[in-house]
A and B are shown apart, each in its own frame.
Chain A
């Protein structure tokens, strides 16, 4: 079943510097049970894309346009605020990077979890607390009854992120959207949280969208990848092929720049320059100013995202001639 269908999404923000073009024509879809990674650097538009999907952005200053933006069968472009509320939590739930700011410091964990459950399930307080305890058990919190009484400041970052995942899962969403869920965590805790998310996904069959800047997180968790840069999709494809034979020069450059892949002190392969200015994005391909393969046409032509190999798309006019074996 198709859970997410985004076609030609544009998101811009009016700021005093000018119009910030955060997302410039993004399309992708997600089926139930599928896991999709959206990887990109800061300013690539990956988080804004998913915030727009759930209509979490304040409009204005945000302006959202698309040919189509469906979530669980609801047209999110025309949905009323009541319909949007019905979709959030039930169809798609989100986990953010910083659990400390996602939770209210003056209410106990149990109160906040129960509140979510009561809003969506219309059950009694006692029943909601029982379900909250079960939700904490599910994210492998052993002393769930204690944790229900705790306040956010009494828990570590890793425990708080487990609570956020429990909260997101409490309404059994069809798709979990995790926006940099482990970026603020230590590496050992990151590994535990990623394993937890994978286990729950396998167990429930829910869809997963993992938003991250970290190719390592992508390599560890998802089946399919969308690579974003400068508000656009550069490449999509199955995770194995993205890593073993990247099509787009940006994906290749990113993979080559990852430190520590081989033993020994060495110079890293760097990507020169810096990310594009979202107010005045470069014409043509957004990566052309930093691309080692750019030719004159790359400055003028915005390459369409098109199928280059069955099941794989890339937005690059240089891909056919240079990269794909006949």
Chain B
């Protein structure tokens, strides 16, 4: 069962009133891999992360942790699974309690899960502060004494101290300065490799994603519109929305300046790829003319209209 994904979302759906924030989203984070969930504000990427963590109630679909359906568990039953499934948020200022020392913050999950004695918990917390690149003496300091990058290191230590195997990281580097962003990306990458972590990395920053992710999942208005290995997304994006996202990224070369043409939402919809059945590696699921996520060669999925059906 080694090919069972560490985290899998199947047809996950969330409505707020009439608004469908997350619309039948399928994605899988294979073990020891980083899957990036990208999209713009309002795309549903953060909501998807909260649903996966069971921090927000979903309206349909399933969440599987190591192949086990956790989507119907009560919050009390979820507690045991939270040791394996953890989170780092964007804003380390509001996600760290200003009244607690960093040692207490990092050790708190151990206490909640009743792991070890108080003295052992203190030592473990110190060890984790060092593992994320902070001096053990920081255990006695408070969040306001730290820079944004240092606070994000504390958030990472707290998330991983219980030995989590799956980490949901929601824009963990977005609030950071350029010069410390690379530090946190490297920290996550190092821990991911050392601990065999599987990570759902939610971000609007395609540059960070390119350096960190194995696979990229692109969301638009609650739907996954494209999903492919990172190199393929950057070299051979098929969906017009993915293409427009990539095209909008500033180029770090003044000599390469160019005028861009911008597509409206309607133009993007109108350019939904038409794909002939011969391009597909698997039969489409639905027998309809609506756009659907179809599988192309190279583990590449794109929302497309299937122009002609293969003979059965």
Contact A42 B207 (CB under 8 A): no
Q: Is B259 an interface residue (CB 8 A)?
A: yes
Contact A187 B206 (CB under 8 A): yes
Whole-angstrom distance from the CB of B205 to the nearest CB of chain A? 8
Count of interface residues, chain B, beta-carbon cutoff 8 Å = 47
Chain A positions within 8 Å of B177 at CB level:
41-42, 213, 275
A contact residues, range: 35 or more
Contact A260 B149 (CB under 8 A): no
Q: Is A266 an interface residue (CB 8 A)?
A: yes
B179 in complex: contacting residue of A191, A257, A263, CB < 8 Å: A257
Contact A268 B254 (CB under 8 A): no
Residue of A nearest to B258 (CB): A220
User: Could you say which of B55-63, B104-112, B241-249, B286-294 contacts chain A?
Assistant: B241-249
Contact A240 B254 (CB under 8 A): yes
Contact B178 A260 (CB under 8 A): no
Q: Is A274 an interface residue (CB 8 A)?
A: yes
* Bound complex: CA A192 to CA B264 (Å): 11
B251 in complex: contacting residue of A188, A216, A269, CB < 8 Å: A216
Contact B185 A188 (CB under 8 A): no
Q: Is A203 an interface residue (CB 8 A)?
A: no
Q: Is B231 an interface residue (CB 8 A)?
A: yes
Known contacts A259-B181, A259-B210, A259-B211; A216/B252 CB under 8 A:
yes
* Bound complex: CA A187 to CA B183 (Å): 23
Chain B positions within 8 Å of A264 at CB level:
231
Chain B positions within 8 Å of A275 at CB level:
147, 177, 179
Contact B210 A263 (CB under 8 A): yes
Q: How many A-B residue pairs have CB under 8 A?
A: 127
Interface residues of B, dominant DSSP: helix
Contact B207 A260 (CB under 8 A): yes
Known contacts A260-B211, A263-B231, A275-B177; A255/B252 CB under 8 A:
yes
Contact B248 A260 (CB under 8 A): no
Whole-angstrom distance from the CB of A14 to the nearest CB of chain B? 20
Contact A274 B150 (CB under 8 A): yes
Mask of B219-259 contacts with A, CB within 8 angstroms, 1/0: 00000000000110011000000001101111111110101
* Bound complex: CA A272 to CA B179 (Å): 8
A259 in complex: contacting residue of B40, B208, B247, B255, CB < 8 Å: B208
Q: Which of A258-297 contact B (CB under 8 A)?
A: 258-261, 263-272, 274-275, 290
Q: Is B262 an interface residue (CB 8 A)?
A: yes
Q: Is A195 an interface residue (CB 8 A)?
A: yes
Known contacts A188-B40, A260-B209, A260-B210; A254/B252 CB under 8 A:
no
* Bound complex: CA A239 to CA B204 (Å): 26
Contact B262 A266 (CB under 8 A): no
Known contacts A42-B177, A190-B248, A259-B210; A269/B254 CB under 8 A:
no
Question: Could you list which residues of chain A lie within 8 angstroms of chain B, going by C-beta atoms?
Answer: 41-42, 157, 186-192, 194-195, 213-217, 219-220, 239-240, 243-244, 253-255, 257-261, 263-272, 274-275, 290
Q: List 6 A-B contacts (CB under 8 A).
A: A188-B248, A190-B250, A191-B248, A217-B250, A244-B255, A265-B214
Question: Could you list which residues of chain B lie within 8 angstroms of chain A, going by C-beta atoms?
Answer: 34, 40-41, 147, 149-150, 177-183, 185-186, 189-190, 204-214, 230-231, 234-235, 244-245, 247-255, 257, 259-260, 262
* 9 residue pairs, one from A and one from B, having the closest CB atoms: A216-B250, A260-B207, A260-B210, A186-B40, A268-B182, A191-B248, A270-B182, A41-B177, A271-B179
Other CB < 8 Å A-B pairs besides A243-B253, A265-B213, A268-B185, 12 of them? Answer: A41-B179, A186-B40, A187-B248, A188-B244, A188-B262, A216-B250, A220-B251, A259-B210, A261-B252, A267-B189, A270-B180, A274-B179
